Structure 1
Amino acid sequence: MSTKAAGTAPEVSALDLAALLCSRVCHDVISPVGAVVNGVEVLEDKDAADMREVALDLIAKSSRQASARLQFTRLAFGAAGSAGARLDLGDAEQVVRGMIEDERTSVDWRLPRELLPKNRVKLLLNLVLLSTTTIPRGGAIIVSALGEGDAMGFRLEATGVSARIPQGAESLIGGQVPDGGLDAHVVQPYYAGMLARESGMTVRFVQDGDMVTLTAA
């Protein structure tokens, strides 16, 4: 299935979309921030002195995670400059690695370092997020270019055990609102579809065994 640049018109108000994206960002950062709070509470507990090192490690790890997620969501969902702004693919790589790479998932970034129109880079970041949902047990994601310059498209190959195209992702990217309406859990692929249409691009999913390929061109 493909999503067309001239696809279904959005059926969500700007206010609702903004609220849902804010909820999505809060969902992404609340876990590590909560872990930091828990670590501080342990440090303040005089009866838990033996847990001090564990608490400090938790605070340090969770703080880095929260920072990485905020930096990623700032570029993926935020304004990131004026309407005609251009974003650096090098900065995109940095936030992707900070957000995505861990002991379960690796990223092979094969894009050149250059400036592209803002919404095209925001679409790329949202496609990376979608790629992670296709490999729920982790795996490897290869990010490469289709074409060059301002017309550059993207190809993302996600390989991992139990790889699959998430239910409803294709229709959401195509601009279709679920019967029950949008919520913070599904707004991200819907927003990715809006970015694709704004950039005049088509997004496609293809699955071949344990590999799911996303293309935007």
Structure 2
Amino acid sequence: MITVTLDALDLSALLCSRVCHDVISPVGAIVNGLEVLEDEDDAGMRDFAIDLIRKSAKQASARLQFARIAFGAAGSAGATIDLADAESVARGLFGDEKTKLAWTAPRALFPKNQVKLLLNLVVIATTTIPRGGLITVEVSGEGEAPTFVLTSQGSHARIPAHVEALIAGTPESGSVDAHGVQPYYAGLVARAAGMRVGFVLDGDTVTIRAEPAQA
């Protein structure tokens, strides 16, 4: 397999496309709710619109806060991120109650790339249980040599097609699009953090394990 390397402009453009895709739905719902408020006099419809705006704004904010750490610089010049902040933004993604998150990690500062990898693996874990279920995140070890274990349990659990090749940087198509950029980016971050990622499917359970590459 040939390793695919994106230049900085292509990578940034694809990541921007991914973030826009994640927030366009709740932002669109906010616009729809505002239009209802402008046009409707019915009290019930206005209450519905206000509730839609409230929920959609919360969802958009949660997705942007997540992206700020998972894909961005987290607004800080520092080289570490608090795992408590990572847990907070991760929990913000699970507002539909279809998927639950259990998080076990020390309250500690970890190197930025390790935390970014962990959050990107949370995104991938959600794709392994399309009908919802439980995602358990466990972080062990010190910041210099941590181990991340994410377990997804749910009906019809599966390892998404091409995700392992994308993380390895060797997509079968020989290219990366906006749909595949997130696991591809997770692989870039894993290598920058000196970690390797593996997947195991056992019945209705998918386990994602990230550990130091030299382990």
Regarding TM over 0.5, the answer is yes
Structure 2 alignment gaps of length 5 or more? none
Equivalent residue in structure 1 for 2:175, among 181, 184, 194: 181
Aligned positions, number: 210
Aligned-partner Cα distance in 2 for 1:149–1:173: 22
User: What is aligned with 1:109?
Assistant: 103
Equivalent residue in structure 2 for 1:172, among 150, 157, 166: 166
User: What is aligned with 2:149?
Assistant: 155
Structure 1 alignment gaps of length 5 or more? 1-6
- Checking the alignment, whether the CA contact within 8 Å between 1:139 and 1:159 is kept in structure 2 is yes
- Checking the alignment, whether the CA contact within 8 Å between 2:4 and 2:175 is kept in structure 1 is no
Q: Name which structure has the greater RCO, CA cutoff 8 Å, separation 6+.
A: 1
User: What is aligned with 1:17?
Assistant: 11
The percentage of counterpart residues that share the same residue type is 62
- Checking the alignment, whether the CA contact within 8 Å between 1:165 and 1:212 is kept in structure 2 is yes
Task: Determine whether 1:88 maps to 2:100.
Answer: no
CA displacement 1:179-212 (0-9 Å, x = unmatched): 2621111100000000010011110000110000
* Pairing of 1:1-80 with structure 2 (within 5 A): 9-46=3-40, 50-80=44-74
Q: TM-score, normalised by structure 1?
A: 0.92
Aligned-partner Cα distance in 1 for 2:140–2:164: 20
Aligned-partner Cα distance in 2 for 1:26–1:103: 23
Aligned-partner Cα distance in 2 for 1:65–1:55: 15
Task: Give the root-mean-square deviation of aligned CA atoms.
Answer: 1.6
46 and 134 in structure 1: CA distance in 2 versus 1, 3 angstrom threshold: closer
- Equivalent residue letter for 1:169: V
More moved, 94-103 vs 194-203: 94-103
Q: TM-score, normalised by structure 2?
A: 0.93
- Checking the alignment, whether the CA contact within 8 Å between 1:35 and 1:62 is kept in structure 2 is yes
Q: Secondary structure at the match of 2:127?
A: helix
Q: Secondary structure at the match of 1:100?
A: coil
